[in-house]
Structure 1
Amino acid sequence: MALKLTEIPKVASITKEDFITYYFKPQKPVVIQSAIQDWPAFSKWNLDYMKNIAGDKVVPLYDDRPVQHEDGFNEPHAKMKMSEYIELLKTKPTKYRIFLWNILKEVPELQQDYSYPDFGVKLMKGLPMLFFGGQDSYTFMHYDIDLGNIFHFHFEGEKECILFPQSETKYLYKVPHSLITHESIDFSNPDYEKWPVLRKANGYRTNLKHGEVLYMPEGYWHYMKYITPGFSMSLRAIARNPKNLAKALYNVLIMRHYDVLMRKIKGQKWIDQKNERAISRTDKLKNTSR
């Protein structure tokens, strides 16, 4: 039995009025296929271009190993030069990904290749982030700490995206005091014997291709799997819903620091306890109806 996922609608283009009316206000995802054809990045940005323009930069790399108590918040698992990393992507599958790589800080000249599209939403111009991945690499199911509205622009290759709104959190085996679900879940092929409550969750999916833009509404859970090596850029807008803004402030000011403190005090026991609670708390819903 597969996850209950609705295919995200794809539109060739959209006016900002229609985007606001049909997707932003009701907080529904959409893929826009022809929003960035006038960007230089549309024709220029591929792995070879990134290797040429940023090859000497040392980049932080992440893989799919489970969180350990000694890990810092968003602490990389390895580092290498961008040129070496891109050669790795092109020659064999690798679990290493680049996560939250700030263009403004790292390669300012890349700003000349894109502009900020007018979707009728004020975008944060200080946080354009790049994400890279090798074939079959993936991110854990998670949501962003600020619960922002995310516009995810994909370049080169193909990427599978699975989304869930915050309303489905109780069915996803969320780990307490964190932004992730239980890391043992394979959202591409979930084991319902082990994770029975996942059957109740209703979500969305799409495969993103070069030049397509995925809109992820506020606080949406997202799992990204690279079908082929590639990369994406995210732009974001602040959450508008007061409840989501409050949750974002709690995450940044309290939850993150509390979790770091408990890791220092309890060590791996804290991580293990959180994972156990994710299972026990969610499995209470096994025999309930939606």
Structure 2
Amino acid sequence: MRLKEIPRVKTISKEDFIENYLKPQKPVVIEQLTSDWEAYDKWSLQYMAEVAGDKTVPLYDDRPVDYKDGFNEPHARMKMAEYVNLLQKEPTNYRIFLYNLMKEVPQLQKDFQWPDIGLRLVKQLPMLFFGGENSRVFMHFDIDYSNILHFHFHGKKRCVILPPDQSKYLYKIPHALISREDIDFDHPDYDKWPALKHAEGYVADLKHGEMLYMPEGYWHYMKYLTPGFSMSLRAFPRKFSNLAKAAYNVLVMRHYDNLMRRWKGQEWIDHKNEQAVVKTHEKLGIKPV
């Protein structure tokens, strides 16, 4: 894949963010947006263990989708203190995904500020994401096509993102929001996945306190280079076409896929994986090997 570094600024005005990034739907890393937050000084894995150590948290690993899996059903559960200890002790594939820790631990809500950056952010409590060294979040895009402000804390995280128009190269699974899960996006096998050679996107390594703006419908693949955690703030899509796609995903696509899983079982999952390759290669005129 052809990836270029995401542009970086230390700070930015609301007007410049709207004109240069929001309107043209271009990503940017803002390095010092959180510098006046209490979270900038306080938020670390150890701090999370101290304030939320007794909370039981849902954990997910990188196993392939199984037809028996429920929607967002965790693969394991653990006390937060135990989980942080695991993260600091050794690499692990276990991640916390879309967890509303701020509802469980209200004092965390005082540690961050809602940025006045030109987005009408959804004032729902933000979700947190945790991961161990080398753990990965598969290539996907979000069901609601939101504009996303993605803040990282504690350590370093690599973010590979691609615009929606690159979907045709990413072996998108039909009736889903993901690409083929057996693609190694760190070291793509272009003999097996030749369409990936044409994909163009962006990459950034986020450090503590840095924020990545991801525009509507962008694909993203995340890798925790060190143990750490992130927080996302969201704003509904501004484009009507993306709002319509989001409504279809939530009201139709998700329910249709769940129905087919119950009816066809693993056969449905296997069929979708096969069609991801067939349809991608057909569109691009790539002959099967």
Contact 2:103 2:125 (C-alpha < 8 Å) held by counterparts: no
- Are 2:146 and 1:148 equivalent residues in the alignment? yes
SS of 2:140's equivalent?
Answer: coil
Alpha-carbon distance between aligned partners in 1 of 2:236 and 2:7, rounded to the nearest angstrom: 23
Which residue of the partner structure matches residue 84 of structure 2? 86
Which residue of the partner structure matches residue 204 of structure 2? 206
- Distance change (3 Å), C-alpha of 1:157 and 1:239: same
Q: What TM-score do the two structures reach when normalised by structure 1?
A: 0.97
- Distance change (3 Å), C-alpha of 1:277 and 1:127: farther
Alpha-carbon distance between aligned partners in 2 of 1:69 and 1:104, rounded to the nearest angstrom: 31
Q: What amino acid maps onto 2:228 in structure 1?
A: G
Which residue of the partner structure matches residue 29 of structure 2? 31
Q: Deviations over 1:24-50 (max 9, x none)?
A: 000000000011111000000000000
Q: What amino acid maps onto 1:88 in structure 2?
A: L
- Tell me the CA shift for residue 102 of structure 1: 1.3
Contact 2:101 2:127 (C-alpha < 8 Å) held by counterparts: yes
Alpha-carbon distance between aligned partners in 2 of 1:195 and 1:286, rounded to the nearest angstrom: 12
Q: Deviations over 1:143-191 (max 9, x none)?
A: 1110000000100110000001111101100000000000001111111
Alpha-carbon distance between aligned partners in 2 of 1:25 and 1:249, rounded to the nearest angstrom: 22
SS of 2:137's equivalent?
Answer: coil
Which residue of the partner structure matches residue 176 of structure 1? 174
**Alignment match of 2:121 (pick from 123, 133, 150):** 123
Which residue of the partner structure matches residue 9 of structure 1? 7
Contact 1:127 1:236 (C-alpha < 8 Å) held by counterparts: no
**Alignment match of 2:236 (pick from 223, 238, 244):** 238
**Alignment match of 2:67 (pick from 66, 69, 74):** 69
Which residue of the partner structure matches residue 265 of structure 1? 263
Contact 1:197 1:285 (C-alpha < 8 Å) held by counterparts: no
Contact 1:196 1:286 (C-alpha < 8 Å) held by counterparts: no
Q: Please give the root-mean-square deviation of Cα atoms over the aligned residues, in Å.
A: 0.9
Which residue of the partner structure matches residue 106 of structure 1? 104
Q: What amino acid maps onto 1:181 in structure 2?
A: S
Contact 1:29 1:214 (C-alpha < 8 Å) held by counterparts: yes
Spell out structure 1 runs of 4+ moving beyond 3 A: 285-288
Contact 1:23 1:29 (C-alpha < 8 Å) held by counterparts: yes
Alpha-carbon distance between aligned partners in 2 of 1:284 and 1:107, rounded to the nearest angstrom: 50
Which residue of the partner structure matches residue 43 of structure 2? 45
**Alignment match of 1:135 (pick from 120, 133, 136):** 133
SS of 1:124's equivalent?
Answer: coil
Alpha-carbon distance between aligned partners in 2 of 1:238 and 1:263, rounded to the nearest angstrom: 29
Which residue of the partner structure matches residue 157 of structure 2? 159
Q: Deviations over 1:97-139 (max 9, x none)?
A: 0000113422211001011011111111114010000000001
Alpha-carbon distance between aligned partners in 2 of 1:161 and 1:189, rounded to the nearest angstrom: 15
Which residue of the partner structure matches residue 216 of structure 1? 214
Alpha-carbon distance between aligned partners in 2 of 1:164 and 1:29, rounded to the nearest angstrom: 10
SS of 1:139's equivalent?
Answer: strand
Alpha-carbon distance between aligned partners in 2 of 1:34 and 1:172, rounded to the nearest angstrom: 33
Contact 1:97 1:131 (C-alpha < 8 Å) held by counterparts: yes
Alpha-carbon distance between aligned partners in 1 of 2:117 and 2:197, rounded to the nearest angstrom: 34
Contact 2:157 2:206 (C-alpha < 8 Å) held by counterparts: yes
Unmatched runs of 5 consecutive residues or more in structure 1: none
- Distance change (3 Å), C-alpha of 1:191 and 1:65: same
Alpha-carbon distance between aligned partners in 1 of 2:63 and 2:173, rounded to the nearest angstrom: 16
Alpha-carbon distance between aligned partners in 2 of 1:191 and 1:56, rounded to the nearest angstrom: 43
- Are 2:184 and 1:186 equivalent residues in the alignment? yes
Contact 1:7 1:205 (C-alpha < 8 Å) held by counterparts: yes
SS of 2:139's equivalent?
Answer: coil
Contact 1:93 1:135 (C-alpha < 8 Å) held by counterparts: yes
Alpha-carbon distance between aligned partners in 2 of 1:95 and 1:283, rounded to the nearest angstrom: 31
Q: State the number of aligned residues.
A: 286
Contact 1:152 1:233 (C-alpha < 8 Å) held by counterparts: yes
- Tell me the CA shift for residue 201 of structure 1: 0.9
Alpha-carbon distance between aligned partners in 2 of 1:224 and 1:103, rounded to the nearest angstrom: 20
